Chains A and B, each alone.
Chain A
Amino acid sequence: MRRTRRQHAIIYLGLTVGLVLVVGPFLWTALSSVKPEREIRRDPPTFWPETWTLDNFVELFERVSIGTAFANSVIIALVLVVTNLLFCSMVGYAFAKLDFRGKNLAFGLVLVQLAIPAIVLMVPQFVLIAKLGMVNTFIGIILPTVVTPLGVFMMRQFISDLPDELIDAARVDGAREFRIYFRIILPLCGPALATLGLITFLSSWNNFLWPAVVAQSENMYTLPVALNILNGNEGTHYNLLVAGSVVVIAPILLLFVFLQRFFIQGIATTGLK
């Protein structure tokens, strides 16, 4: 059925409202980062900066070692993306396509972990990491999330739907399990891997509490942890916080723009299974 002009207008109106609601705060943050502090706190607030200034960024870079923190965040996020893609898909494959004793129990345990809030595990995890002597190291920050239950669950669901015949055919051709996983399964998991990669990157990028607790010297700080120092004595410095937020958000936005196609595809293919 063809839509009338009127219907189009209504749809676009709805979309515009949604867009403003979603993009508005980001835009305000971005514009505020180039306003002087007094203007940010003024009531009524201004949307378009009256005075343009880069002082916030200058001050931010002077006060916080953003460069180091940025590098730390990137390294940690990338390592976690790689380990999660690899291990979650491996475990997911085993759960989906292999038969072994205790499989259901093991998978059940994975599902149970989905229900446990991370905060509950924090102290025991920290004690563990401390006893292993990994406090204030990259490995200490990374280890607890190298493979996540959510990732395993996602990959298992996705791989379950791949036809068994493909695997049987590969087996007939003499392929061993690892080769099947690597050459048959993994290439078919594109959309699921893209989604998992993005989720992992985002959650690592935004993760605050764990790195804040494990990193004990400033050269190990990630971006959110470094920015948190600004929450200081004389109240919060909103000018520095908005500038910091822009630094944190910008890479994510770029990532979304480039990976948008995969991301939408990923949701469409895994979400409804």
Chain B
Amino acid sequence: MNTMVPAVNVEALKDTTLLNMGIFALFVAVTMVIVFRASRNNKTAADYYAAGRSFTGSQNGTAIAGDYLSAASFLGITGAIAINGYDGFLYSIGFLVAWLVALLLVAELLRNTGKFTMADVLSFRLRQRPVRIAAALSTLAVCFFYLLAQMAGAGSLISLLLGISDWGGQALVIIVVGALMIMYVLIGGMKGTTWVQIIKAILLIAGAAVMTAMVLAIYGFNLSSLLGSAAEAANNPAVLNPGLQYGKSDTSKLDFMSLGLALVLGTAALPHVLMRFYTVPTAKEARKSVVWAIWLIGLFYLFTLVLGYGAAALVGAETIKSAPGGVNSAAPLLAFHLGGPLLLGFISAVAFATILAVVAGLTITAAASFAHDIYANVISKGKADATTEVKVARRTVVVIGVLAILGGIFANGQNVAFLVALAFAVAASANLPTIVYSLFWKKFTTQGAVWSMYGGLAAAILLITFSPVVSGAKTSMIPGANFAFFPLSNPGIVSIPLAFFLGWLGTVLDKRREDPAKQAEMEVRSLTGVGAEKAVDH
């Protein structure tokens, strides 16, 4: 079967550049109109940061899927399955199972106790200043790493999809993407960002569904013969088994454990995911959001399994690897094979929309954290009014947008895939222990929170600095140097337990006790929703 497959002519892809750009421009035009309409009601801080808490659970769940399914998920996982077979599938499972942590332990309780940011919850019953500053710093760190990965990814995506291969051209496209993102967030706030994410999620999941159905139809809806054909095309039956990517050595196996730990514990502590729970009116809607997100994300990852093996069988690993964009080109090449230039144009536009929606979500989270946590609560000590706070948030959006553009241009072409995994590891180490302790452990104190957050943050960043991803290996960021002493490329297996331990140690060594009345208030509020911020009426 695989011998009849017509080779995908990578050169022919350049002819579709105009079509790709046209479809993408249409997406931008439609979303801009929606963002303008949505922004008319943006008056208060709750409007700007939390979309007036007016989204329903199903809308928010779709937006969460749009926020979470980044280009790394779509292009990266499809490509990983196409090249490394089963090991690519392992990623999707970690990314999905992680949502149970959010559903069972975090989403509703967080919605009931916070207002705008993750720090609202963490500092609820502890001393405001130290905890808020620590939580804001780790929020900014996670957003920065994640943002940089997305912007740099935009550069390499462009080389394939738009046929722009020179550095200046790619830089120009990164500037355009960044400028569009700043406009969405500046004008639309959380409401506009949410609509962009909803539209993108629908397009992405629909596009993946159509491609999945087309691939399955070729194999008579028989998964086994698809797998057989993929193994045959790869000339290696091992693509169906685990171990191709991570089974090489004991270190790589341990590295995989570390990655698995970071993925499963990091999701529920990603600040931009947590902030989405404030856009719904009640905890029950927050629960419904996670349920929707789990179904959509699960469905999508099942599609990527078919798409990945489909790309291996129909396009072939060699063609994928030699195409501009490398592994990331598996999904677009498969689209071209299945539906010609039109489907490729659609999928390319969706991939762009994906980057745009994810960076918008990250930017508003980082801006909210700076304006609400650092400016309003620490610098002006709670005396700033909401109007000033939103003004600061908007200025921060521009600053972050410009930083993201510059970072994206300079990181373009660098090996930045690890940045997303790093963002998960930092979130799991710096945020999750404190979230869990402050929600469930009565005796938890400020010192425990501060030790755990700074300890987790520092451990994750230091270990990655002294790991093979930065120096000492062929694929390192700094190829010539070698100052690596930590053998794993993901720090999670060390930094996450360490942060949990520090949270415990800091608490038992703390001579100060926290206010039991505050603890009682947080516990009662978190479980019952008493006094939770309600929807804003217009």
Determine if chain A interacts with chain B.
no
Residues of A within 8 A of B (CB): none
Using a CB–CB cutoff of 8 Å, the interface residues on chain B facing chain A are: none
